[in-house]
Copies of this chain bind each other. A is one copy, B any other.
């Protein structure tokens, strides 16, 4: 089954917002066996919208339109769908009542324009939207399926909850994926080791996705029982470079390992300025494992806040193995956390103390002692900082896995 995605809104064409809905829909449709062959952005113009919808219907068996269902004059998806289907729109009293109810619940007066959202192209089925005012639509046009869903990502995802199972049932070939997530190694090394270990049969696709210091290995196919042994064999070949599977994240795995042993962690950050702490506190429940730490961006604070001996700073400087070690041990001691993780290095663009941008020292101090890793990280300032966080989380992850 071939699919098309239309994202509606002038703000997309003007570049005011990025079309993240198309990426989400592409991924979700692929997972229910719909191959997206066409994905377009269209402005708020009923003729252009209708043309885009006709072209999408030429290319695909199912079209998902996102956006343009709101109450303003710019919201024209209903009109374009009705135009292409050659049907009138009827005001549906049930939706009108729901709209009035939603506004009353928030204590607002309802502008009359909102009632536009109660208009439905004849023959369309309404898709309930419990998290917003604009309902979705499902309509057959020339034997093909058109779904219109709201544009705000949160509402789109909720309304698609009714769309995706129907498509899965229609294709009968739900695609399964098995993923491995690796850190501390590169994409080509991962590929080499995986391909030496597994032979990918027909009907299974193998892909590598790299970003932010993490390499994902993805097996996709309609038969999950064929995927599992492939993922196992690849995981064995990759050993402890694999930190997780499928929905896992590196911070999630770190918190799980901390939780399993009742341990806590504190950070001492220099070049990342807080990014590591931000990552460790991003998810609900982080306080079980993450206690806090110190940001020692200016060199003197490495002594004042992290307890790095002045002699170490004088002899080795801010960017050095002994400094990272002392930062990790110092923050561990001052916070009473089970583990202290430290990052010091050169984010760039300029060198510091004679070290080129990308120079990085990561240290993890814990009950088993202190490990320091020295790496040269590629990329610009933003990338160096992001990769530094990944490398620190990964060194902590390896330390926790070894201790458990």
Contact = CB atoms under 8 A, between A and B. Distances in A.
A80 to B, nearest CB: 15
A282 B380 CA distance: 12
A30 B385 CA distance: 33
Contact of A381 (B16, B284, B292, B335): B284
Contacts of A294: 292-295, 305
A154 to B, nearest CB: 9
14 contacts: A12-B23, A14-B27, A15-B30, A16-B27, A16-B207, A16-B209, A18-B23, A22-B41, A39-B41, A40-B41, A266-B295, A273-B290, A292-B301, A305-B334
A298 interface: yes
Name the prevailing secondary structure of the A interface residues.
Answer: mixed
Given A14-B26, A15-B22, A349-B284, A335 B304 contact: yes
A15 B26 contact: yes
Nearest to A28: B15
A297 B277 contact: yes
A370 interface: no
Contact of A287 (B17, B36, B287, B297): B297
A278 B284 contact: no
Interface string A231-256: 00000000000000000000000000
Interface in A40-69: 40-43, 48, 51, 55, 59
Contacts of A275: 274, 278
Contacts of A390: none
Given A15-B30, A274-B278, 10 more contacts: A13-B37, A19-B23, A38-B48, A266-B295, A282-B381, A282-B382, A284-B381, A292-B297, A292-B301, A292-B305
A375 B277 CA distance: 23
A207 to B, nearest CB: 8
A298 B271 CA distance: 23
A264 B28 CA distance: 48
Contacts of A291: 297-298, 301
- Interface-central residue, A13, A266, A271, A277, by most chain B CB under 10 Å: A13
A240 to B, nearest CB: 26
A292 B287 contact: no
Contact of A22 (B19, B28, B290, B381): B19
A97 B292 CA distance: 55
A174 interface: no
A351 B20 CA distance: 31
Contacts of A304: 334-336
A281 interface: yes
A271 to B, nearest CB: 8
Nearest to A29: B15
A326 B18 CA distance: 41
A41 B305 CA distance: 51
B39 A26 contact: no
A15 B19 contact: no
A321 interface: no
A396 interface: no
Contacts of A292: 273, 294-298, 301, 305
A399 interface: no
Contacts of A43: 37
Contact of A36 (B13, B274, B280, B293): B13
A133 to B, nearest CB: 17
B39 A40 contact: yes
Contacts of A214: none
A281 B17 CA distance: 26
Shortest beta-carbon contacts, A-B, top 3: A273-B281, A274-B274, A274-B277
